[in-house]
Amino acid sequence: MNEKVILFTAGLAFIITVVLSPIFIPFLRRLKFGQSIREEGPKSHQKKSGTPTMGGLMILLSLSITTFVMSDLFFERTAQTYLLLFVTIGYGLLGFVDDFIKVVMKRNLGLTSKQKLAGQLFIALVFYFFFQHYSISTVVSIPGTNVSIDLGAAYILLIIFMLVGGSNAVNFTDGLDGLLAGTAAIAFGAYAVLAWNQGQYDIAIFSVAVVGAVLGFLVFNAHPAKVFMGDTGSLALGGAIVTVAILTKLEILLVIIGGVFVIETLSVIIQVISFKTTGKRVFRMSPLHHHYELIGWSEWRVVVTFWAVGLLFAILGIYIEVWV
């Protein structure tokens, strides 16, 4: 394995997405799979109503094809490859059902919170069932230290917490044109470097395939977006990044590498707790990216700033794991 394989993987996934998009976008538009914009959201977003959504299908198709092609060409397909694809496609299908209810059945909130949680838990439990058969360690290491804790049977609780919480955190971040595509590419890029450094080339290839797929999607999702990934894409990417973190045994490091996702989630939690306990809002709107919009930042400025913050978190995560 060498750097040329990595570049070829990213390039293949990028090209597949770019080629698929001009086909999928008009198709989604003809099916009237247009995004419904929440009335309580920023008023400037109302003009985005009707923009085709479910574009995450292109990302899923691209990364799946690329992963299978590259595994056939350059390395033996492993159980980890199948676990990664299972969780990614599983969460993607859950998101697809949510999107379908929103845009076709015209129920703006999609699946109820209980229905979505049940789907997330089911996928997490199936993942753990197969995960434990491959004798993967239940030891969790604290980044930057020599401290490690063997959770034993309790490791399943960490997996459930990470998959449910992580997929929702990434979903919260998908609120502005190009925001999630860019931050996801950065986070998966960081884990690709770390997986490669561990010699886990199957995970590295998968991660790079995701990077190429979302960057190809970004061509059409950058402001002003011609297509949204919807929950089809955001839940899939959330499940995928968590699974990569688990399989590389860098679970806790995800808090740093996925720092933008963590901050977005914390902003929602803080806002809810503050409003329910004091009747006051800490932010003008949550998740946090909407707060910056409402204080006068342009959408593009918010997105680029969050990309930059995500890049700093990714560099910090790599530094802690490789050099500290």
Binding site, by residue number, is 171, 231
Q: Would you state the structure tokens that stand for residue 104, as one six-digit string?
A: 């076709």
Task: Please choose, from the candidates 272, 283, 248, the residue with its C-alpha nearest in 3D space to the C-alpha of residue 162.
Answer: 248
Helical ranges in 132-258 per DSSP H: 155-173, 179-198, 201-221, 230-247, 254-257
**CA–centroid distance for 119 within its chain:** 17
Task: Please choose, from the candidates 6, 17, 53, 9, the residue with its C-alpha nearest in 3D space to the C-alpha of residue 218.
Answer: 17
Residue 261: burial class (beta carbons within 10 Å; 0-12, 13-18, 19+):
buried
Helix (H, G, I), strand (E, B) or coil at 141: strand
- Helix, strand, coil percentages (3-state) for the chain, rounded to 5, are 75, 0, 25
DSSP code string of 24-69: HHHHHHHTT-BPPPPTTS-GGGGGGTT-B--THHHHHHHHHHHHHH
Return phi, psi of residue 53, to 5°: -120, -170
Query: Which residue carries 């590259």 as its tokens?
Result: 70
Residue 68 half-sphere exposure, CB side, CA atoms within 13 Å?
8
Q: Write out the binding residues for Mg(2+).
A: 171, 231
